[in-house]
Amino acid sequence: MEPLRATGRHLAELYGHAAELFGDLPAFASRKEALSWEPVSFRELYERGLCLATALIDLGVEAREHVGLLGDNRFEWILADYGVQLCGAADVPRGRDVTDQEIAYILEHAEVRVSFVETRQLLKRIEPLREKLPQLRILILLEPVDDAPAGVLRLADLLGRGAELRARGDRRAEERIAGIRGEDLFTLIYTSGTTGVPKGVMLTHANMIAQMNNIRMDIRCTDRVLSILPIWHVYERVFEVLSISRGCCTYYTNPRHLAEDLANVEPTFMGSAPRLWENLHQRILKRAREAHPVRRALFHTAYFLAHHYKESVFYLTRRHLFLKPVHPVAEAAGMVFHALRWFLLLPWYGFFNAAVLEKLRLVVGGQFRASVSGGGALPREVDQFFNYLGIPVLEGYGLTETSPVIAVRTEKKLVIGTVGILLPDTSVRIADLDTGKILYPDESAPHLGRGRQGEIEVKGPQVMRGYYKDKEGTDRAFHDGWFRTGDLGMITFNDCLRIVGRCKDTIVLSSGENLEPGPIEARLGQSNLIEHVMVVGQDRRFLTALIVPTQQAATEFDGKALHDALAQEIRERVSTAKGFKAYELIRDFRILPDNFSVGDELTNLQKLKRHVVAEKHRELIDSMYPHETGGSARKGGRR
């Protein structure tokens, strides 16, 4: 049975349709105590949204105006979003971890006149910036307070005002809704500044509605979604809207209460980052290590059986990683082998699945039907662990610029090592990094060019309209109308998208932090001890570096002394005192014996070929991350 879903030509219509369809079902729940949560129904939310929208119109918010929305996950955030959408405006969201500099830039660049601010603390940071932001007229505090600071409006007052106006017959919100067009922005999201200033990604109602129509996940109104990722990212946002459109209740949790809330809410669905799965993986392994030897043995037996059993199931259902064309005979032999293995393991797996694995699944609340992982690559070992355990982890891939989902695994096509199949209406092509030649789809190549690596380029209804007030940046982001993702990937032989790495220099840490290695390397390169340096850390928890010392350093120091001198140099040059952020600090490094050479590690223009260096020194890099499970081996969906 197809799940019941609300839809519309734009978000405001979708919100209204959801209120009609799901009425009194709880839409969002906020935690007061572990076992005391406050629900708000779809109808209530929509009605309060209309009141807020009316109040905003009354304050002078125009259709298509950009309204600031600064804060993290909480019910009032969604309410504010409803207010903004229902008055035909677009929001400019950002989390509390924003820097003052970014606030100033974003609010000015987006010409924000009215902004929601979550907390008083955040308000205090904005006050001194107001001098530089003459157009910023109105601030509205989201958190409930008894009395707001002077010159700041309270959300509750606006709701009251709106309700009063509507009671008197004010229907301006309805007029605004009727005027919304698909190509209007629903949000303007500023991405973390990868190079210099943040870029405002223009996402339209049509973008989001396309995501709603094309994401075929079986989420229905009997599901429970636990929300933990920052809501201002479009990845989390798409789940919030998906939950609204399917009538399921979203429960806001936070890292502090996650374990408790997993147990109490028994979520059936969750959008998550790889970090969560890595933590759960570690927790389960730790528990197994500390268990009674008999239980430990049972655990290992159970996982061993599950691994081999599920591997065969995946092969038989053609869900294995399919990177090369396979001869039919070899494939038939594989089929026979896996069918036999499946049959032999079935009874044993059945028993251990019931007796041991189910208890492990309870660690994650026990009711998970599936979970999506995105915002970074899921380490292969962790990926396998949960999928073999029987908790389907659907890894997805996308960027803010693609609102965000380009591809996501489905349960039917859950191929570990890939980010699944493309969404409907979405096309991907693979372009050669140097020449721009299209490698896939290529009529002249065998298998259309499947298995060839290159930059992933996307076309589809989810691709952004462009960067706000940045024609040049927008033009650079597109290649003959195809959006350039900056990620290196390929199409597998069972038509899944596989992410191989990055073609841009930007490093995305496993925490989700984006950073440019360039400035750090430039700073280190100024040292007369360092000839070449490459910063690494893609999908890792922290940065490290590979260093080629100068001739001078190599003769002056030897062995340990050289190491200490370089450590000293790194500490001094890349420090928070020198303006680097905490996550930009280099935590470890290795010295490379040989210099980089042009044509191998360097281009003719002396530019670093990062993937070559990373490939060549993979083991050396891995040795700097003893507690992590090979992030560099495979890189998956980032935001």
Q: By the criterion CB under 8 A, which residues form the site for another protein?
A: 1, 4, 21-26, 29, 35-39, 220-224, 247, 251, 264-266, 268, 350-351, 354-355, 358, 367
Rounded least distance, CB 298 to another protein, Å: 8
**Nearest distance from residue 258's CB to another protein, in Å?**
16
Residue 253 or 462 having the CB closest to another protein: 253
| Residue whose CB is less far from another protein, 268 or 510 | 268
Nearer to another protein, 268 or 402 (CB): 268
Q: Are 438 and 425 in contact (CB under 8 A)?
A: no
Identity of the residue, 266 or 470, whose beta carbon is nearer to another protein in the bound complex: 266
Instruction: Name which of 580, 6, 559, 574 is nearest 243 in CA terms.
Output: 6
Helix axis angle for 172-179 and 75-86, nearest 10°, is: 80
Nearest CA to 413 among 310, 502, 319? 319
Strand partners, 536: 544
Burial track 610-637 (b if 16+ CB lie within 10 A, e otherwise) = beebbebbeeebbebbeebbebbebbbb
H helices within 317-363, ranges in order?
A: 328-352, 358-362
- Cα atoms in the Cβ-side hemisphere of radius 13 Å centred on 455: 19
**Shorter beta-carbon distance to another protein: residue 253 or 527:** 253
Please tell me what DSSP assigns to residue 148. P
Write down the least CB distance from residue 371 to another protein, Å: 16
Per the CB < 8 A criterion, the answer to whether 443 and 513 are in contact is no
Q: How many helices (H) and strands (E) does the chain have?
A: 21, 28
Q: Which is nearer to another protein, 222 or 623 (CB)?
A: 222
Q: Taking a C-beta distance cutoff of 8 angstroms, is the pair 279, 57 a contact?
A: no
Give the residue with the Cβ less far from another protein, 221 or 430. Answer: 221
Please report how close the Cβ of residue 294 comes to another protein at its closest, in angstroms. Answer: 8
CB of residue 39 to another protein, shortest distance in Å: 5
Supply 520's token pair: 């750090």
C-beta of 95 vs 390, nearer to another protein: 390
CA distance 339 to 312: 7
| Helix or strand (DSSP H, E) at 384 | helix 380-389
Closer residue to another protein (CB): 322 or 349: 349
CA Rg value for the chain = 26
The Cα 231–Cα 93 span in angstroms is 9
Q: Could you give the angle at which helices 205-214 and 11-22 cross, rounded to 10 degrees?
A: 50
How many of the other CB atoms lie within 10 Å of CB of 7? 13
Angle at CA of residue 71, ends 135 and 185, nearest 5°: 60
What is the CB neighbour count within 10 angstroms for residue 535?
26
CB 4, min distance to another protein, A:
6
Nearest to 593 by CA among 620, 570, 571: 620
Strand partners, 440: 430
Task: Provide the residue type at 606 as one letter.
Answer: Q
How many whole angstroms separate alpha carbon 490 and alpha carbon 418?
Answer: 10
Q: How far is the CB of 1 from another protein (least distance, A)?
A: 8
Sequence-distant (≥ 6) Cβ neighbours of residue 632 within 8 angstroms: 536, 538, 539, 540, 614, 618, 621, 622
* DSSP-derived secondary structure letter, 593: S
Q: Which is nearer to another protein, 298 or 614 (CB)?
A: 298
Residues 6+ apart with CB under 8 A from 370: 217, 218, 269, 392, 393, 394, 411
Q: Are 625 and 544 in contact (CB under 8 A)?
A: yes
Supply the minimum distance, in Å, between the C-beta of residue 37 and another protein: 4
Cβ proximity to another protein: between 40 and 321 the closer is 40
**Closer Cβ to another protein, 37 or 75, answer by number:** 37
User: Given the complex with another protein, which of 33 and 131 has the nearer CB atom?
Assistant: 33
Minimum CB distance to another protein smaller for 25 or for 585: 25
- Give the contacts of 128 (CB within 8 A, at least 6 positions apart): none
Query: How far is Cα 235 from Cα 397, in angstroms, rounded to an integer?
Result: 10
Which candidate, 501, 507, 505, places its Cα nearest to that of 583?
Answer: 507
Nearest distance in Å: CB 247, another protein: 7
Cβ-based neighbours of 258, under 8 Å, separated by 6 or more: 228, 276
